[in-house]
Structure 1
Amino acid sequence: MDRTAVLVMEMQRGVVGDLTKFPDLVAVCQRRDVVDNAASVLQAARAAGLPVIHCTAAFRPDRAGSHTRNSPFITALLKDPGHMLEGTPAVEVLPELLADADLESRRHHGFSPFTGTSLDMTLRSLSVSHVVAVGLSLNLGITGLALEAVNLGYRVTVVTDAVAGVPDGYALAVLKYTIGLLATRVSAAELVEQWKAGDAR
């Protein structure tokens, strides 16, 4: 059975919400209606009986379990001792994207939602073989998600207007030239119509 699940990558208050430290990313998301498009995909997924899994990131205050110096980006982020701390509002999923039945997969290091987490086992326990990706960002997270999912044997779809990166021109090039080699690309409206028609594969 080819069951589908939606993976929501880092749509958290401290990434793209009211507590963000990434104003350029927020601006791109607002111009491209990324949050609204993601919300429409999640609503349609739940209506079709498909699992929704929020792939979130957080750090412990003591940084235990996190590699803190193996990436220039993470090193820069963690200069702020309060960045995305476990148990703070910044790590919460955007409320407009969250429903009670949704699942969460939390990671404390790296850029992919699969490495060092239970996400693969969760998907397999749900008999999922196809993942649909929305969220952030095309610079790292969505690209890492798609690449690892393919390596693990999943079929991948990326919702083109429910993802973003910075700068926007670069992100669109990644969507075309990198994601296009790994995943099917579809708009939120196209996917919603497909699921409403009863094709939730």
Structure 2
Amino acid sequence: MGRVAVLVMEMQRGVVGDLTKFPDLVEACARRDVIANAALVLRAARRAEIPVIHCTAAFRPDRAGSHTANCPFIVALLKDPEHMLEGTGAVEVLPELRETGDLENRRHHGFSPFTGTSLDMTLRSLGVSSVVALGVSLNLGIPGLALEAVNLGYRVTVVTDAVAGIPDDYARAVLKHTVSLLATRATAAGLVEAWR
């Protein structure tokens, strides 16, 4: 079946941590224990020698390499010239989810960790054919990750209690009506048990 890797989507200080501009998303993560469940999965993956790749987003101060006017959400975010700037604390992975041996895949545009990055080549160089996705959000990032991974030939599993979106009823609908068409769904506890 090939090797598995865990893709951690935008679990960054400026997205769901202490420097966030998205309090509703932080609250959704807290209600669902997303960070704690993500940490469980990542510890189990590392014990099983499964690669962990943090898929992060950032902008350069001059916005070079980023499409900034083609998406209403990005236009709104970038009214703040300091939003998610490269080299600031906001783009750092949450410390409780990061370990030295982890990899990072940084992007400067779009909502998927695959387009315009080296993620596909990194996964193929590691012999990966299946990915486990967790993080945020079910509004954009997780569906984008799953769709592009499937298009590239990977099998995808989404950790249902280590993802969040807003509002809650919409997030549940995405898991049921979109993610279920693209990916296997699993819980953090189920993966921990499978990787023992």
Shorter-normalised TM-score: what interval?
over 0.9
The equivalent of 2:175 in structure 1 is: 175
Render the CA deviation track for 1:150-198: whole Å, top value 9, x for unaligned: 00000000000000000011011000100000000001001100111xx
Q: CA deviation at 1:99?
A: 0.3
Q: Deviations over 1:124-152 (max 9, x none)?
A: 00000000001000000000000000000
TM-score of the aligned structures, taking structure 2 as reference length: 0.99
Separation in 2, partners of 1:152, 1:117? 13
Number of aligned pairs?
196
User: Could you tell me how far apart the structure 2 residues matched to 1:51 and 1:41 are?
Assistant: 12
**In structure 2, the residue corresponding to 1:109 is in which secondary structure?**
coil
Give distance in 2, aligned partners of 1:32 and 1:136.
12
Partners of 2:31 and 2:173 in 1: CA distance: 17
Paired residue type of 1:99: E
How far, CA to CA, are the matches of 1:83 and 1:3 in structure 2?
36
Q: How does 1:189-200 map to 2 (within 5 A)?
A: 189-196=189-196
1:199 aligned partner = none
Structure 2 equivalent of residue 70 of structure 1: 70
What is the percentage of aligned positions where both structures have the same residue?
Answer: 81
Output the CA distance in 2 between the equivalents of 1:168 and 1:67: 29
CA distance in 2, matches of 1:141, 1:99: 22
- Please give the alpha-carbon distance, in whole angstroms, between the structure 2 residues aligned to 1:160 and 1:46: 20
Q: Show the counterpart of 1:117.
A: 117
SS of the residue corresponding to residue 162 of structure 1 reads strand
Over residues 25-73 of structure 1, what are the superposed CA-to-partner deviations in whole Å (9 max), with x where a residue is unaligned? Answer: 0000001000000000000000000000000000000000000000000
Q: How many angstroms apart in 2 are the aligned matches of 1:120 and 1:151?
A: 11
SS of the residue corresponding to residue 180 of structure 2 reads helix
Q: Which runs of 5+ in 1 are unaligned?
A: 197-201
Shift of 1:5: 0.1
* Aligned CA-pair RMSD: 0.5
Partner of 2:93: 93
